[in-house]
Amino acid sequence: MPSDTPAQAHSESATHSDALDDAGLALGYPQMDDTHREFLALAQLAAQAPGAALAPALHELFEHTQAHFLSEESRMEAVNHKLLGEHRAEHQRILGDMQRFCDRAEAGRGGMARAWVSDNLMEWFGNHARTMDSALAADLCLRAAGEEDAAD
């Protein structure tokens, strides 16, 4: 699961100011917020990775993002979330872009990949977290509150 990896990136983000909170992107659903903190830490590492370190950093970001998206999609299925189709399509679009930039970096053409992570991917994530992920977190929080009420 994404929240179990990568321990190093997570512990580093935990000891510094919280990038997710600083960006106003915390959603109040802890499992999603933890995964998003890891995503931001890995994206920052990739954007700053020098030379040959870029390809493995992007690969790690790609694997984490695959697990991050799968985790959200399984949560959406579990609550029959109404935006599942659109949300999944958006995940697939970004994973496709990320895969292409991984391939470029592997081939030694990483300059554009670095710029894509620091500009396009970060902008996309901000918008995605504020809209689709926020709607999912609200749905999950509502469901959790309903289960608590039923247990009372």
Residues at the contact surface with Fe ion, assessed by CB under 5 A: 72, 133
Phi-psi region of 24 (alpha: psi -120 to 50; beta: other; left: phi over 0): left
Nearest approach, Cβ of 109 to Fe ion (angstroms)?
A: 28
The span from the CA of 83 to the CA of 137, in Å, is: 12
| 10 versus 104: smaller Cβ distance to Fe ion | 10
| 68 versus 114: smaller Cβ distance to Fe ion | 68
| 87 versus 114: smaller Cβ distance to Fe ion | 87
Nearest approach, Cβ of 35 to Fe ion (angstroms)?
A: 6
| 53 versus 67: smaller Cβ distance to Fe ion | 67
- For residue 6, say if its preceding peptide bond is cis, omega within 30 degrees of 0: yes
Nearest approach, Cβ of 143 to Fe ion (angstroms)?
A: 17
Nearest approach, Cβ of 32 to Fe ion (angstroms)?
A: 6
| 36 versus 104: smaller Cβ distance to Fe ion | 36
CB-CB contact of 8 with 42 (8 Å)? no
Phi-psi region of 51 (alpha: psi -120 to 50; beta: other; left: phi over 0): left
Minimal CB distance residue for Fe ion: 133
Phi-psi region of 80 (alpha: psi -120 to 50; beta: other; left: phi over 0): left
Nearest approach, Cβ of 118 to Fe ion (angstroms)?
A: 18
CB-CB contact of 126 with 25 (8 Å)? yes
CB neighbours (10 Å) of residue 39? Answer: 21
